[in-house]
A and B are shown apart, each in its own frame.
Chain A
Amino acid sequence: MKQQATEPMELAERKSDMLSAEEYVRITRRSENTARVLKVLLWVTLLAGAVMFMMPLYIMVAMSLKTNGEVAASDPWMWPKELTWENFTLVLSNPNAPFILFFRNTLVISTIATVGVLLSSSLVAYAFARLKFRGRDRLFILLLSTMMLPGMVMTIPSYVMFAKIHWVDTFLPLTVPAFFGGGAFNIFLLRQFFMGIPRELDEAAILDGASHSTIFWRVIMPNSMAALTTVGVFCFIFNWKNFEGPLIYLNSPEMQTLEPGLRTYQTLHNEQWNLLMAGSVLVMIPLILMFMLGQRYFVKGITMSGLK
C-alpha cells in the first residue's frame, strides 16, 4: 500500500524534469553502451574460464589423434602433426573389446536407471516436500544418513544378497534399485525444488477437488522441469560413467559396459594412452550432446501459468 502511494510521486518527479529528446537518446545510448561493455567483459571472463575448464577435453582429443609413438615422443599439450584417425576405427572395431556392444549395454542400463530414478525419486520427494506425515522429519534424517556410510563396507553384503537371488551377471542390480527411491541425493535435490513451488498452486487445485496424484502430475511435475532435467542428466551421466558397479556385478564379456570395458587399454603395466583417450572421447561425446540438449530445460523454470 505504502509503495503504491510513492510510485506515482516518483513518476511525477521524473516528469517534472523531463529531458530533451536529444539528451534522452544520448543517455540511453550511454547506458546501452555501458551494458554492452559489461557484457563483452563478462563474455571475455567466461571465455578465459572456459579455456581452463576445457583443458582436459583438449588433452584427451589431442592424445586420441596421435600414434603410440607420438604420444611418447611429443609433449602431451602439443597438437598432433598428423591426425591419426585409426585410433578411433581401432577402438570401434576391436573384437577384444566390442565397443558397439558395450555402448548398447551402457545405454540400456543408463536409460532404465534414469527412468526409474526420475519416477521414484520425484514421488518420494513430493511426500517429503509437500505432505505432512507421521515421522516425516526424522525419516528425512534417516534418508540423508544413507549417504553418510562409505559404500565400501556395504559392497560385500549387497553382493552376497544379489548373488543369493541370482541377480549377479544381470543388469538387475544396476537398474532395479533405481525404481525404489532412486537414492537419497536425488530425493533430497527434488525435495528442495518442490519446496520452492508456491503453495497457492496446489491450494487452488485442492479447491477444485484434485487428489494428491493430480497435484503431483499436473502442478508439481510441470513446474519442476529444471530440477527434473538436472536429476535426469546427473543420473544418466553417473550410470554412463559408472565403473565400480558394472565391474563388480557383471561377469560375462557380452554384459560389459563402456567404462570398465575401456580399461582393456589400461591394464597393469600396459597403457595404450592413444586408444584409451580415443575411447574416452567416444564415451564423452553422447554426454556432452545430452548436456547441451538438457541445458535448454535448465532454464525452464516455474511458468506460473494460471496464477494471477
Chain B
Amino acid sequence: MYRCINRLGAALLGLLFVATALADPITLRFTVWDGDESLKVLRQVIEQFEKENPDIKVKLETIPDYATYHQKMLTQFAAGVAPDVAMMDPGHFQALAKRKALLPLNQFYDKTPGFKIEDYYKAIVDAHSFQGTCYVLPRDIAPMGLIYYNKPAFDEAHIPYPDGTWTWDFKERPELKDKDFLWVCHQLTKKGANGKVERWAFASGWPQLVATTLAYSNGARFADNDEHPTKVLTTDPKFIEAYQLASDLMNTLKYMPNSTDTGSLSQTTQQLFAGQKIAMYQNGIWEVPNMRKTLKPGSKEFFEWDITLFPGNAKHGKAAPTGGSGYAVFSSTPHPMEAWKLASYMAGPVGMTAMARAGIAQPAIKSLALTPGVWLPGPDSPKEQLYPYNRKATDEAVDTVVFGPNADYWPTVEDRMNSGLDLLWSGQSTAKKALTQGQERAQERLETMLKDEQLPAFNWPIGIFAGLLIVAGILAWVYLPESKTRYTKREKLENRAAYKFAAPWLIGMALFTLGPMVFSLLMSFSDWDIIQPAKWRGVGNYKEAGVVDPVFWKSMIVTTIYTVFSVPLGLFFSLLLALLLNQKIKGIPLFRSMYYVPSLASVVAAALIWRRVLNPENGLINALIYGGDKESWLGTILSNWAGTPNDPVNWLGNEKTALPGLIIMSIWGAGGAMVILLAGLQGIPQYYYEAATLDGAGIIDRFKRITVPLLTPSLFFTLITGMIGSFQVFSQALVMTNGGPNDSTRFFVFNLYGAAFQQLRMGYAAALAWILFFVILIVTLIQMRGSKYVYYEADVKR
C-alpha cells in the first residue's frame, strides 16, 4: 500500500515536471548590431511577437560595433553558444552559410501560411543566397545610388530640382544643361575670391562609393562572378576611366572635396551637407534618421532638402552598388521552427512596418516600401518625418542595384585591390597606375586563396600530446639548469615562502593563460576557419608568411620602424614630463592630470584632433614647419623628401609621411609612462638628495648620480613594456589611415586581425602571432642582457 502511494506520488511528480516543461516558454536569443532608436522599435515589435506567441520568450542582445559583431558571432558559434536568430548581411553570411553554420531558409517557406519569398525584392534575396538557397531573410535594402540635395542651392543657381532623369558623361555637356550631371556640378561649385572652393557641388559618403557607382553604370564589374569570383577585372578600361573621373572630380575639376579637404574639416559627409559646405552628396538611405535630427524643421540649420537618383551613364544607363541586411537562423539552434517564426516576424510586414515608420530602414518587402504612411510619407506623417519627400526614388533605385562579389574570400582580395587607391583619391596617382597595381596584388591573392589544399584532419590525440610535451619542455627549461643546486635550510624556507607568494600567478597561468597559448601554438600548424574542424597544415602557415604573403615583410618593416622611433621618443618625452612635473610649483596636481587626459579621451575625439593637427593646409604641425609664408628650409627638405616639392607635406595622405605622422601622434600617449616615472622619482629616498647636497653635490651631479641610477628600474620597465606594446600597435592605424596609403601603415597586428576575423584563417593568424611573439621575445632578451645598467637598491650588498 505504502509503496503504491509512493509510486503514485512519483508518477504525479513526473507529470508535474512534464507539465511545467510544456508551460515553460522557449527562450530565443536574438542578436542585432542596431543601437539606440532602432532598439526601441525592435523591442516594441518583440513585445507584440511575444503576445502573439505566448510560448516563446525573446532575449534581444545588441553588439553596436559592426566589426566586433561579426567577430563575436564566430566566437560564439565556435564555443557552441551562438544566438538562435542573428542579423547578417551579404558581405558576411556566405562564410557562415558555406560552412553550414546557418540554416537554409527555403525549408520553412511552405510551413508558414501567407509567406511568399516573392514579396521581397529579388535583388536582396539573391544577395543573401548561396548556391541558389536563401540563408538570410532580408529585412531592408539600402541602394546607394541616391543623391541628397540642398534645394536652396539649386534655386540660387536657377537650376530645376533633379528628377532623376539626368545622365553623366566623361566631359561636361553644356547643351544638356540640368540633365547633365557635370554641368550641374559646375554650376553648383562656389569659389571664393582667392580661387578657393567655398562650397563644393558634390561629395560621396566615401571616395570609392562614387567611383564604383560610375564604374558600374559605365558597364564595368569587379569580378567575373559574384558568388565565386576567379578573376579581378578592375583593369578593364571602362573601370579605369570611371575611377579616373572620380579622382578628377576631386582633384582637377574640384567639384568634390578630396581627402585633404575633408581632413581639414574633420566632419562626415552628412555634416558637410548639413553645414552647407556641399550642395549634393551620394549615400544610402540610412542617412535619413540622423539627418532629420540634424536638419530639424524650425531649427536655424534647417533648409529644404530631398533625395533623387544618381545619374546614369549617357550610354549605359543607371547602376549603383547597394547595401542591405536581414535575419539568419544559426544551425545550432535547438528550436529552428520558433527561430524562423521570429525571423520572419521581424523581417515580415509587422516588424518592417514599424522599422519603416520610424524611418530607420527601407523594407525589403516591395509592397511595404510602396505603402503611403509606411515607408512613403503619408497624410498623417508629422512634419519632421516628411523628409525626404521623394521616397519613391528608393524603390526606383532598387531596379538599378548591383551587389558585387559576396564570396567570403572577397574582402581579402578587395583589401589588396584597394591598397593603392588612397593615392588616387588625393591625386598623387593615376587610376591606371593604382588599379593596375591593385589588380596584380588582388589577383595574386585571389589565386592563392582559391588553391584548394587537400589537407588531412588535425590529429587531436597527437595534438594534445604535443601540447603536453611543450608544457613539459617549458618546465624543463625553467628547472633543469638549477636542478643540481643545493639549498641551505634557510634557503629552503625562503623557496617555499616564495612559491606561496607566487602561487596566484602560477595557478592563474595554469588555469587561464597556458591553455589558450598552447592551443594557439598548435593551431599555427593547422588550417582552421573557426567553424569547421581544424586540418593539419604542418609548417605551411609559416612558409606562407615568409615566402608567399606579400604583405608580411612590409608589415614587419612598418612595425619595426614604428617601434624604433616611437619607443625612444616616447621614453624621452615621458621622462622630460615626469622631471618637470616633479617640481614643487603651484598647480602641479592639476598639471599632472592635464597631461594624462589624452590617455583617457575617446578615440573619436583623438582621431578628429590629429587629422586636424596633421592636415597639410592648416594643420598645426605644418604651421610650425613651414611658418606663415609657407617657405622654410626645413619645409623644402621635407616636401622634397615626400616627393611633393611644391606643396606642404600631406602627412596622412602620403606614402612616405603617414608612418612618421603616426609616430608623432604616439607622443601624445606619453602621459601613461610619465605616471610610472613620476612614481619612480618619488620612490627615490629624499635623504639621498639631502646627504648629497650636504656633501656639496650640484644639481647636475645629483641628477647623474642619484636620479638616473635610481630611476633605471622604472625606465627599464617603460622601455620593455613600451616596446612590447608598440610591436602590437593596431588601433591607431585602424582609425587614422586604415593601413594606407599603399600599405605604408599596415602594422603587423593589423594584418593578423584581417587574417583571423575577416578571412577566417585562424591557423594562419596564429602563425603570424607566434612569429611576432618570438621577434618580441628575442628583442626583449637582448634588452635584458644589456640591462646591467639597471640599478636595484635591493641587490646592493652592504
Residues of chain A whose beta carbon lies under 8 Å from any beta carbon of chain B: 3, 7, 10, 39, 42-43, 45-47, 49-50, 53-57, 59-60, 63, 67-74, 76-77, 94-97, 120, 123-124, 126-136, 138-139, 141-150, 152-161, 163-164, 168, 177, 179-182, 185, 187-189, 192-200, 211-212, 216, 224, 226-227, 229-230, 233-234, 237, 241, 243-244, 247-248, 251-253, 260, 263-273, 276-277, 280, 284, 287-288, 291-292, 295-296, 298-302, 304
Contacts and interface: CB of A to CB of B under 8 A. Distances in A.
A288 B753 CA distance: 32
B675 A124 contact: no
Interface string B660-678: 0000000010011001101
A48 to B, nearest CB: 11
A159 B714 contact: no
A129 B728 contact: no
Top 7 nearest A-B pairs by Cβ distance?
Answer: A180-B508, A181-B505, A69-B301, A264-B35, A72-B274, A133-B498, A56-B601
Contact of A199 (B593, B676, B717, B793): B793
A302 B683 contact: yes
A94 B36 contact: yes
B749 A150 contact: yes
A78 to B, nearest CB: 11
B794 A196 contact: yes
Given A195-B792, A253-B62, A53 B290 contact: no
Given A43-B586, A134-B482, A300-B682, A177 B600 contact: no
B645 interface: no
Given A156-B75, A251-B61, A288-B593, A126 B777 contact: no
A53 B595 contact: yes
B793 A72 contact: no
9 contacts: A47-B591, A97-B36, A150-B772, A152-B769, A153-B752, A158-B512, A196-B684, A267-B33, A269-B286
A247 B777 contact: no
B509 A192 contact: no
Contact of B286 (A156, A260, A265, A270): A270
A147 B517 CA distance: 11
B65 interface: yes
B679 A135 contact: no
B217 interface: no
Given A57-B597, A187-B505, A138 B477 contact: yes
A159 B79 contact: yes
A233 B675 contact: yes
Interface in B451-481: 474, 477-479, 481
Nearest to B604: A276
A224 to B, nearest CB: 8
Interface string B280-324: 000010110110011110011110000000000000000000000
B448 interface: no
A97 B40 CA distance: 10
Interface string B562-602: 00000000000000010011010111011111111111111
Given A135-B482, A295-B593, 4 more contacts: A134-B495, A154-B519, A158-B516, A193-B679
Contacts of B276: 73
A193 B680 contact: yes
B111 interface: no
Nearest to A145: B777
A158 B516 CA distance: 6
A57 B593 CA distance: 12
Contacts of B753: 152
A179 to B, nearest CB: 7
A120 B505 contact: yes
Contact of A298 (B62, B502, B523, B679): B679
B716 interface: yes
Contacts of A304: 685, 687
B507 A138 contact: no
A193 B769 CA distance: 31
B60 interface: yes
Interface string B394-420: 000000000000000000000000000
Interface stretch (B158-166, B264-272, B549-557): B264-272
Contacts of A189: 676, 717, 721
A180 B675 contact: no
B781 A135 contact: no
A200 B798 contact: yes
A39 B588 CA distance: 12
B261 to A, nearest CB: 14
B651 to A, nearest CB: 17
A222 B772 CA distance: 39
A260 B289 CA distance: 22
B596 A291 contact: yes
B75 A155 contact: yes
B501 A131 contact: yes
Given A123-B501, A143-B505, A280-B605, A248 B72 contact: yes
A181 B504 contact: yes
B494 A57 contact: no
A148 B773 contact: yes
A159 B75 contact: yes
A226 B530 CA distance: 44
Nearest to A299: B682
Most chain B CB atoms below 10 A, which of A69, A124, A226: A69
Most chain A CB atoms below 10 A, which of B33, B66, B519, B604: B604
A270 B608 contact: no
Contacts of B710: 196
